[in-house]
Each structure stands twice: as C-alpha cells, then as structure tokens.
Amino acid sequence: MNMKNNLILALDVGSESESISICDSIKDYIDTIKIGYPLALAEGLEIIGKLKDKFGFKVICDFKVADIDATNSKICEETFKAGADAIICHGFVGSDSVQACLDVANKYEKELFLLTEMSHPGAKMFLQKNADAIAEMGVDMGITNYVAPATRLDRLADIRRIVGEDAYIISPGVGKQGGDGKKTLEISNAIIVGRSIYESDNPKGACEKLIESLK
C-alpha cells in the first residue's frame, strides 16, 4: 500500500463535517487516511465510503481487532463490505484470531496490518514484552504489513529486523507523542500523524510543514 509522501492522516475526529473539512484541506498532500473508533462510532461505517467517494482516499480502519476468531471474522466482514482498503488487528490474541482477520482480508483482496507494539508509554507494561513474538508469528503466517511505534526507534528497528526489509511497516507516534518523522522513515515505510494536523488551526499548513520536515 504505497502512500503519497509516506504520510497517513489519523482522522480521529467526531463528525462527518469536521472530517470533510480537514480532508478537503489536506487532499493534495495525503492520499491515505486512518479511521478509528471515534469517527466510525460517531458516523457509522458509511463514513468510509463517503470519504473514499469524495476524495479518492485509501482508508485503513484502525479497529485494533482483538476478539475470538468468529467475532473477528464478523468485524472484518462488515469493515471490508463498507469499503475499507485495510484493517488493523492486534496480535496478542493469538494466531487463530489473527488468521480469521487475514482470511477475510484475502477474501476481499484487501490488506491486513498486524499491530506489534503501540506507541504510548503504557505499551511498555505488557505489550512490549510480547511484541517480538507477535512479529515472529506474523512472519510465520505470511503477513506482510505491520504497525510498530515511531516513539521508540530502537523497538521499531527490532521489529524491522524480525519482519524483514520487504515487509511494509506503518508507524504511529509522530507529532504530539514526540516521534521524529524523518528518523522513523529511515526504518518504517510510512508514518501516521493525527493531532498535529487535525487539531491545528491550519491543517493544510501543518501538513505542509510536516512534509517539509521529512526532506
């Protein structure tokens, strides 16, 4: 999943009108957005198709799917039927639950991103201890897309070594969480940025400034 400027907008706003306003301002710089629970719960899965139709974006649904296999299948089915290009799932639930997501992604000829380690400080308490094993599981399962943190470049590098140079890694944590976008892209394929853009009084200007900092 190649992305313009190697940049994904995390569109964690709470209304269709706000999402459209922000997307309209940055559409010349970004072609991939990440929609999570805030927008999906506020506006329904229909927002995926609306934004795709209006702007032509690729949409990654960051639902961090983490349930039993049967429930995971249902979540992924509804998400892909709504038009999503990719979905993010947790790996800590084990291979059977992840395989359920992968099977549905393959059925719809869409993408699955396996979350190895999150970007916030709390991830170090429990998730980090198993992140390498989650990445190894993903490799064994033939998964080629991963999520790993921009906030801890040493851990990002560890994940890269495990999944290999041909894997596609996207990294949250640049901006408000303190991750360095340019350094992250030396390891990762794309960065995910949310609040630094959508909370700005001038999202377009914030986007331009961020892209300039990556050069």
Contact by Cβ (8 Å): 103, 73: yes
Calpha distance 60→83 (Å, rounded): 10
Single-letter amino acid code for the residue at 208: E
Extract the tokens encoding 59: 């949409």
For residue 192, CA distances in Å to 9, 177, 180, 184 come to 6, 11, 11, 10
The one catalytic residue in 64, 107, 124, 129 is 64
Per DSSP (E only), the strands in 79-130 are 86-90, 111-115
- Listed in sequence order, the residues at least 6 apart from 208 whose beta carbon sits closer than 8 Å to its beta carbon are 29
Cα torsion at 31, 199, 88, 86 (round to 10°)? -20
- Listed in sequence order, the residues at least 6 apart from 204 whose beta carbon sits closer than 8 Å to its beta carbon are 25, 26, 29
Q: Burial letters for 102-121: b for 16+ Cβ neighbours within 10 Å, e otherwise? A: bebbeebebbbbbbbbbbee
Q: Is 27 a catalytic residue?
A: no
Active site residues: 64
